[in-house]
Amino acid sequence: MTWTEIGWVIIGLAVVLLLFFNLLFTRRDWYPVRVNPAVNAFVKQRVRALEGGKQSQVVLGNRFWSRAYPALGLHALSVSASLVKADPGAQETQVFAAGTGELSLFARQILCGTYQDGYSSALNLILTGPTPHAFMAGFLAEMGLHSPGSVGLFGHYGPMEALILEAAQMKGGHSFAAAGSISAQAALFLTTRDLLIGEEIFLLPGLMDRSPSLQAAWISEDILRVLMIALLVIAAGLTLAGVL
């Protein structure tokens, strides 16, 4: 079996697991996941900001797709869908910031889907700059005009975005980060207590909106991860024996 074939097997298995668990379970809390203090803190501070009439800013990233981290854009959209579902009443104070046109268009679609009537996308969807650096500079400048109560970074970004969270903290807001490139996470590790590292980010939509479908994603990912660990051990053994 070649590595490419192994890749297809993994894809096939993921499809089967996702469909199986999606059809099998209908309850909301059937797969217990570990408590994540960072997410709990984010949820708490976000609610506090919204109740206090302060802005809760949701940053969707500065790219929709990248070769190294292809899924982060779609993941950010999944998170934002969960966030608007979790707080449909926060129409005025929840601000979504995107760094690309595609992200803005998708975010507009998600927002319109939730806030059906009387929703004005101009109110809470902003594009602060159309390239990664311009987005960051624009966002920092906007923060000078409107101090946020909480800022959450989701999607694709680089180490420079550590400045956004540092600025939010300086202004008394809460900061939270999920996703970003690994180098972004290395920079954010220093500046942000509430940070999700690596694959932890994929916990997020399900923690905001405990739909059975998102829990099917959790368990599928957990099973695949264990299988991959087993695969690595077996492949190492076979390579050592000269079979692979």
Partner 1 sequence: MNMPELVWGVVGFLLTVMILSYLIGDNFFFRLAAYLFVGVTAGFLTVLIARQILWPYLLQPLLEGSTYQRLWVLIPLLLSLMLILSQISQLRALSRIPLAFLAGLTAALVIGGAVFGTMIPQMRAVVIGFQPAAWHTESRSSWMHTVDAVVMLIGVIGTLSYFHFGSRFKRKTDSSDLSRPRLLQALARVGEVFIGFALGALFAGIFSSALLAMIDRIVFLGGWIARWVGGG
Partner 2 sequence: MKRIIVILTASLTGLTILAGYFFQTQLANLTGLLIEWGILLVGLAGVIGVGYLFKMHLVRVAHWQKGSLLSLIVLVAFLVTVGIGFFLPPDSAFFRNWVLNIQIPVETSLLAILAVTMLFASLRIIRTRGWTLMSVSFLISALISLILNLHYLNPAIGTAGAEWLEFVRRLPLAGLRGILIGIALGGLIVGLRVLLGMDRPYEDES
Contacts of partner 2 in 144-183 (CB under 8 A): 145, 159-160, 162-163, 166, 182
Rg (Cα) of the chain, in Å, rounded? 19
Interaction mask 15-44, partner 2, x per CB under 8 A: x--xx--x----------------------
Whole-angstrom distance, CA of residue 223 vs CA of residue 211: 19
* Total of residues contacting partner 1 (CB under 8 A): 71
Decide: 174 and 45 in contact? Cβ < 8 Å: yes
Q: Which does 19 bind (CB under 5 to 8 A by kind): partner 2, partner 1, none?
A: partner 2
Can residue 10 be called a binding residue for partner 2 (CB under 8 A)? yes
Q: How far is the CB of 178 from partner 1 (least distance, A)?
A: 13
The closest alpha carbon to 53, from 11, 91, 105, belongs to 91
The closest alpha carbon to 229, from 199, 197, 184, 201, belongs to 199
Query: What is the sign, positive or negative, of the torsion defined by CA atoms of 17, 197, 111, 66?
Result: negative
Decide: 178 and 79 in contact? Cβ < 8 Å: yes
Where do contacts with partner 2 occur on this chain (CB under 8 A)? 8, 10-11, 14-15, 18-19, 22, 64, 69-71, 74-75, 77-78, 81, 85, 98, 100-106, 109-110, 112-114, 116, 122, 125-130, 133, 136-137, 141, 145, 159-160, 162-163, 166, 182, 187, 189-193, 197-199, 201-202, 213, 217, 220-221, 224-225, 228
